[in-house]
Amino acid sequence: MKLNTALLLLLAPPALSDRVDDYIDQLSLEEKIKYLGGNGMGNYPDDGEYVGTVLATDHAGIPALLYNDGPQGFRDDARPGTSTALPSGLNVAATWSTEAATLWGDVLGAEFFDKGSNVMLGPGMNVARVPRNGRNFEYMSGEDPSLGAGLVPSVIKASQSHKILANAKHFVNNNQETNRGEMSSQVDERTRFEMYYPPFQAAIDAGVGSFMCSYNKINHVYSCENPETLVDDLKGAMGFEGYVMSDWGATHSASLLQGLDQEMADADFMNFDNLKDAPVDAIDASVRRILKPFVDVGAFDLTDDEQAARSIYNNVTSDEHFEAARSISVESHVMLKNTDSVLPLGRDFFTGENTVAVIGSQGDDNCIGGGGSGRVDAAWKPTPLATLKATAEDAAYGADSDKIKYLDDDSSLEDQIELASNSDLCLFFLQTSSGEGSDRDNLNLNADGKVAEVASHCAKSVAVVSAPGAVLMPWADSVDSVLLNFMPGVASAFATVDILVGDEEPTGRLPITMPLIENQEGMTLEQFPGVDGNMNSTYTETWGFGYRYYHLHQEEPRFWFGAGLGYSSFEVTKISWGDSNVKVSIKNTGDVDSTAVPQLYLGAPSGCDLPLWALKGFDKLLVKAGESANVEFALDEKDVSKWDVDARDWAMCGGEWSARVGFSAQLVDDETIATKTI
């Protein structure tokens, strides 16, 4: 790309704002450049710890820009427990619910506002290409761009309604943590637009104010100085008018003319000495991009009372936010197996002589979130064991909590078998976690080696799994029921017990595929983690990862993307194409009211080089027992198009398109399929 082309895009201002232009007119060149680089971490207020700052320009009436982690809640290491440890972004993906996404974004926005920040460094929305990626738990797309694109707008709108900016991250192809500061994601333009950009495009369409470029390189050029992805793609074809900040320490040059608007957290490169001779129009354009979103969301128009009430020292937790975390956690619990309707137990299970074995340290020291910038420390953390005992001791039932026995991970196989043999129910609590900066070594769960043998001695058995992404479950055939709750947040124990006793139905569905074996998708070292020099990771699979891989290679995973059980069953009774939608009727064929999550998958004509089946829509609704419901999935031209590299635009793919609606990505024999020639 020639520099003059880049400049034309960079200098094109967002929709003009007289107020923003007035701000810029009051700034000296040095003050303008101040906005292109941060003032460090932890220096505002004097003893505070916002992770990024741009100090106020008092004479122009511009407040300080105060940035803070993160994507699961306000991270306050100096004051742990003063914000709500919400379920993770992957949990939001597991809800398949725009209402849950709205609630999550609303709590995030409210707490960031009350903590005095005006930039929330989230949500994360990268598509999960690599099952072992250490940050998959942060991202609300799961393994499918349409799932992320369907949920992201709700979070952006809800959080920004609180007069703060959301931040779409990490742009782009930051799909692994291994060697993230040097590795290069070798990915072609069409794959970027079709598989990795849609959630980011949805954020743009929802009015997100800021983007964060990532640590990695894309095709050998660092993300934060990559004019192809930042200028041509993001600010050009995708139409983003807000500003791009770097990830912390991800800047390698004064990259103003390559599409970076602001370096965080310090101005090591984007400073006065390096930029004083840069084109003034380019400087003004970036400052305008930075200031305008704050004006748009009302961040610069706080009342005196609002401003006085906001402080990083506030404890912003509340019963209301705890209950919101509980609700989201309930909605993101995925029941993957339920032999002989073992669940729900019913509260009366605890009123008789039933005894319960709680096995696994996760039962008494539960992992509620991942590590790194997405970590939030909870003020208190109710555990499954304590919550079960409290439920048993509920005054309305008066059961004996001593009938609930516990063994941790270090207990012997013999002790576990003895306890299991003398119990009416075994509850296995299993977990693994991950965090920023490294990928998982494998997909194993902690201390799951004894489950299969111990479960054979149980009258009934349920496994409850907490995990930051895909995991192996070699014992799945040995237990009666499996509940997966990902990184479930501070209220997870309450949510889990709600589901175990039947106060709530598990309505989550898998946002990622659960494989049978390690690397079932057969990624080569060249694909992950990458080889040659600085770890070049090649995306030669293009769209062929996740459930699309299993379709293409006709393989069966352990559990399919989109899968999940409730307490009833559903069938599709009718499906048809409309002018710009697909209409479907579903029926609850069971005898209890239950929540359905119908999913629309489209199959492209041969010759389009598109996935055999690709998710294009979803819904979540309660259907009464024995009754039917009609659902419409709206479609636009992009849904039946592919990215045309020559035209730099979407091009409809003509021919016969197929539509199927199911309750997971699994292909079912004799299912009803509707076709339409386009």
Q: Is the pLDDT of residue 295 over 90?
A: yes
**Given this model, what pLDDT does residue 12 score?**
56
Alpha-carbon distance of 521 to 524, in angstroms, equals: 9
Alpha-carbon distance of 626 to 174, in angstroms, equals: 46
SS3 per residue for 222-267: EHHHCHHHHHHHHHHHCCCCCEEEECCCCCCCCCHHHCCCEECCEC
608-634 core/surface letters (b: 16 or more CB in 10 A; e: else): bebbbbbbbbbbbeebeeeeebebebe
509 burial class (0-12, 13-18, 19+ CB within 10 angstroms)? buried
Strand 594-596 relative to strand 621-623: parallel, antiparallel, unpaired? antiparallel
Q: Tell me the pLDDT tens digit for each residue of 86-133.
A: 999 999 999 999 999 999 999 999 999 999 999 999 999 999 999 999
Helix (H) / strand (E) containing 69: strand 65-69
Give me the mean pLDDT over the 160-187 stretch: 97
Provide DSSP, 510-563: -SS-B-SSTTTT---TTTTT-BTTTTEEE-TTTT-STHHHHHHHT---SB-TT-
Domain borders along the chain are 319-501, 568-677
Q: Is the pLDDT of residue 1 over 80?
A: no
Structure tokens at 110: 């409210």
- The C-alpha R_g of the chain, in whole angstroms, comes to 25
**Given this model, what pLDDT does residue 353 score?**
81
519 pLDDT band, cuts 50/70/90, is: very high
Place of tokens 């489950």: 451
Give me the mean pLDDT over the 182-202 stretch: 98
Give me the mean pLDDT over the 644-658 stretch: 96
Q: Is the pLDDT of residue 134 over 80?
A: yes
Helix (H) / strand (E) containing 480: none
397 pLDDT band, cuts 50/70/90, is: low
Percent pLDDT > 70 in the chain is 96
**Given this model, what pLDDT does residue 2 score?**
40
Residue 361 has what DSSP assignment?
A: G
> Strand, helix or coil at 216?
coil
- By C-alpha distance, which of 656, 658, 661, 663 is closest to 674? 658
Residue 503 CB partners (closer than 8 Å, separation 6+):
347
**Given this model, what pLDDT does residue 42 score?**
77
List the beta strands (DSSP E) in 13-63. 52-54
Alpha-carbon distance of 463 to 336, in angstroms, equals: 10
CB 107 within 8 A of CB 340: no
Distance linking the first and last C-alpha atoms of the chain: 35
Give pTM, 2 decimals: 0.96
> Strand, helix or coil at 654?
coil
Alpha-carbon distance of 405 to 421, in angstroms, equals: 12
Q: What's domain 568-677's superfamily in CATH?
A: Immunoglobulins (2.60.40.10)
List the beta strands (DSSP E) in 410-521. 425-431, 461-466, 481-484
**Given this model, what pLDDT does residue 351 score?**
77
Residue 533 CB partners (closer than 8 Å, separation 6+):
none
Place of tokens 């914000």: 83
* Given the residues 76, 106, 144, 247, the one annotated as active site: 247
Q: Is the pLDDT of residue 74 over 60?
A: yes
CB 24 within 8 A of CB 298: no
Q: Tell me the pLDDT tens digit for each residue of 219-272.
A: 999 999 999 999 999 999 999 999 999 999 999 999 999 999 999 999 999 999
Alpha-carbon distance of 314 to 328, in angstroms, equals: 24
List C-alpha distances in Å: 452 to 268, 274, 461, 473, 516. 55, 62, 10, 10, 15
Q: Tell me the pLDDT tens digit for each residue of 350-394.
A: 877 889 999 999 999 999 999 999 999 999 999 999 999 998 887
- Mean confidence (pLDDT) of the chain: 95
Q: Is the pLDDT of residue 16 over 70?
A: no
Longest CA–CA separation in the chain, Å:
81
Q: Tell me the pLDDT tens digit for each residue of 531-583.
A: 998 899 999 999 999 999 999 999 999 999 999 999 999 999 999 999 999 99
Q: Tell me the pLDDT tens digit for each residue of 179-190.
A: 999 999 999 999
3 pLDDT band, cuts 50/70/90, is: very low
- By C-alpha distance, which of 81, 75, 74 is closest to 380? 81
Residue 351 has what DSSP assignment?
A: T
Q: What is the dihedral of CA 317, 323, 327, 330, to 10 degrees?
A: 100
Fold of 319-501: Rossmann fold (3.40.50)
**Catalytic: 247?**
yes
Give me the mean pLDDT over the 418-447 stretch: 96
Structure tokens at 192: 């970027």
Provide DSSP, 133-145: -TTGGGBTTTT-H
567-598 core/surface letters (b: 16 or more CB in 10 A; e: else): bbebebeebebeeebbbbbbbbeeeebbbbbb
Give me the mean pLDDT over the 406-419 stretch: 97
**Given this model, what pLDDT does residue 158 score?**
98
